[in-house]
A and B are shown apart, each in its own frame.
Chain A
């Protein structure tokens, strides 16, 4: 009789173990790559956004007399006043060309800023004051070290003379970097040192409001109908197929729909949160319906039976018992859907929400842009200073989205119930 001997070949086994190790390594590398990409992406954007949160300001002396001022302080020719103060600082600058170059060190918005300062502090008139005014973006970049002074003059954004003037200002301690509040408080502008995200943020909020207003009630009603009430027939099958299909349609196609139906057919106003919100609502609707149906389905049937048993009507069962229990799940799905809509750009480009809009929108029928579209607009701007501003806007958008998603996760953790 043959003795059973285990069939083990040592060389083959070694090879198999090596293959095992290799395979495992591929996995580790994949995970490492994914994490590294995430860290690089977020790190690069965060790092490049840092300069945008501060700006360079130049201190200039003003000695204005009440007799020279008009009654309404803001009506004065502040451009002239500003120029005069600047030229006083540099008596050696004589030629017209040089004076213009000197003027370019200050931001275009500096005169406005000066006017506001004086309007806010009427006591400034009649005394010697030093006012800090925003520098131009090139000046700012230079201070932040983004312009290399060792380069030949023709390759630089600032001329040798301008750099000399900046050095003089710095020697007089008239240059300081401050927190750039305009990033949060200003609307869009062609000048990076004046542009802020407030207009886009308001536009985003208005758009999300419209999206929520339409998608949440309609989504919940549709989910209730399909999950709790509808008989299973061809009609409801058709609805379900459509919902699943809508969930997979590329977002830009929703933009085309919005353009063709809302703008051209129903003549709703272009570039407004109303139209943008409607388009995003259609996009979010399947997300909400699918999440709401899952939440409704997770409510145990015993609750339904109990309520029916005491004589609640079908609608009372839903409104009094099932909907309240499913609500956390529905809200979680809704927030995730809305967060996705809040980061969406492509369909909004189709309905004109990438216009350059300085005014902050106050109404859903005002022309507006949204935060992701603002990012797109700024990313296309050639000025170097817009680069860090774009990164800053991205960071703000990501924080906004992170907050929403964290809320959704918190909600799910808090109310998650195992039946």
Chain B
């Protein structure tokens, strides 16, 4: 039975249980009401108001001490829901946990079985065997292509899979049954089903919130874990201070896993150069646009230009990359040739300029916010002294908005450092340690893409190097963002 079919069945059972729960609570209430009617005579109703329902009769004569003892705690619907949740959730949790663990369990079982079949095996050979068994089982490898012993392994693997596919639904169903019995017994007049359900709901919400922590943790742990493995193969000092980056070429002999030079300095220099060029484009245009829009432009111009800049922000970066590679880079090369300069067709200048275009909206919208946040009284004060508008802007508004603008620029730098597609498509792959913007340089993100696209085994230094670069990138952007946030915090305090 396929898993999705089983889950659907489970869901059906839960719906069924919902109605059973409704039935149960109603019968419980009915019993209670008849029992009460035997004990207490009907409450006299208010004169002139004919009783129309049981609820109406309680309106004048609330029980004098504590009416809550005999009142149904939760509406019927919650009792049904309570039962349904207890039928559905335990087996679902089991299934989810099982799905997460299954690969490890089956792998472990298969490994031990293969060891008994083959005798001792090296780790590499074992991995190959496991891959073969799985491939045959999935049908991606023909059964006659593998050895007889492997076929035994395949049979064993198929047996495990089959066993699990039977055992899992059986255990899950028993969970559902236990859940049902537990919940069914608890349904009673005063049973706070609503509160139970709300508690469950809140736990789900907490779990959803924790995912944000898990994601961060996942990023940091996976990056650090792989990076440590990388530093097991390549010394950390070489990575941080090495001046050569050529992961594709083995330059030292006898090193396992295919070696190369892993000095990250050329990548960092390239990244910073492209970022710097981008800032030279983006900061003046973005900042001046923001100033013009908030201080000079009429409403009509604002209504027209602001959406246009927002469109720039919404264009996917792959489009910028295409634009850079196809038009900007050749254009720059031709321009350079006309001026007697030799530009590489993958020059840092072209990539940086297009990246700058991408950054313009970030700078302009963030600066716009901070410029608008400068109190009008400052402008009025300057104007009253006879300052021209540009003097007001330069001497009053910009100094007041400077921390905000600084943090906008830092955020923009962080975006530029982490940007991938533009540089992948328009900047080079070869790591030149140069300060010449007309030459091709490469960046951290480009190298991550280069190292991880294409088929590589997961353990080689090349692949692991990508994670080390990722960690570097993560901490650089994190530091920039924290710094930007700090500046903004300080700034907003000044105004309150």
Contacts and interface: CB of A to CB of B under 8 A. Distances in A.
11 contacts: A24-B389, A26-B288, A41-B357, A224-B205, A225-B206, A229-B202, A250-B414, A250-B417, A256-B223, A376-B425, A405-B314
Contacts of B287: 30
A138 interface: no
Contacts of A315: 198, 201-202
B478 A245 contact: yes
Interface in B311-335: 311-312, 314-323, 325-327
Contact of B288 (A27, A226, A259): A27
Contacts of A120: none
Contact of B474 (A224, A244, A249): A249
A31 interface: yes
A30 B202 CA distance: 51
Given A31-B292, A285-B215, A346-B421, 16 more contacts: A31-B297, A34-B286, A35-B305, A38-B312, A222-B211, A242-B213, A242-B215, A245-B481, A248-B414, A250-B473, A252-B445, A252-B470, A260-B223, A315-B202, A343-B315, A349-B449
A163 interface: no
A286 interface: yes
Nearest to A262: B218
B209 interface: yes
Interface in A343-366: 343-346, 349-350, 354
A379 B425 contact: yes
Interface string A335-349: 000011011111001
Contacts of B286: 30, 34
B452 A286 contact: no
A376 B485 CA distance: 34
Given A257-B215, A260-B226, A250 B477 contact: yes
A246 B219 CA distance: 10
Contact of B467 (A260, A266, A344): A260
A375 interface: yes
Interface in B467-487: 467, 470, 473-474, 477-478, 481, 485
B204 A221 contact: yes
Contacts of A266: 100, 103
Given A313-B198, A350-B452, A253 B210 contact: no
Interface residues of B, number: 88
A252 B390 contact: no
A285 B210 CA distance: 12
Contacts of A349: 420, 449, 452-453
Max count, chain B CB within 10 A of own CB: residue among A24, A225, A349, A372? A225
A246 B222 CA distance: 15
A23 interface: yes
Contact of A345 (B209, B218, B318, B325): B318
B289 interface: yes
A274 to B, nearest CB: 12
B155 interface: no
Contacts of A285: 211-212, 215
Contacts of A282: 215
B360 interface: yes
Nearest to A217: B208
B495 interface: no
Interface stretch (A14-22, A75-83, A102-110, A167-175): A14-22
A33 B285 contact: yes
Secondary structure dominating the interface of A: helix
A24 B308 contact: no
Contacts of A222: 205, 208-209, 211-212
A387 B322 CA distance: 9
A239 B206 CA distance: 10
A218 B211 contact: yes
Contacts of A28: 292
A246 to B, nearest CB: 6
A188 B94 CA distance: 40
B321 A379 contact: yes
Interface in B30-46: none
B492 to A, nearest CB: 15
Nearest to A264: B458
A146 interface: no
Contacts of B23: none
Contacts of B291: 27
B388 interface: yes
Given A44-B327, A344-B316, A346-B449, A250 B420 contact: yes
B80 to A, nearest CB: 16
B470 A225 contact: no
- Return the 8 tightest CB-CB contacts between A and B, nearest first: A250-B418, A27-B292, A343-B316, A30-B288, A23-B390, A260-B222, A225-B205, A346-B420
A51 B301 CA distance: 35
A171 to B, nearest CB: 35
A267 interface: yes
Interface in A219-252: 219, 221-222, 224-226, 229-230, 236, 238-239, 242-246, 248-252
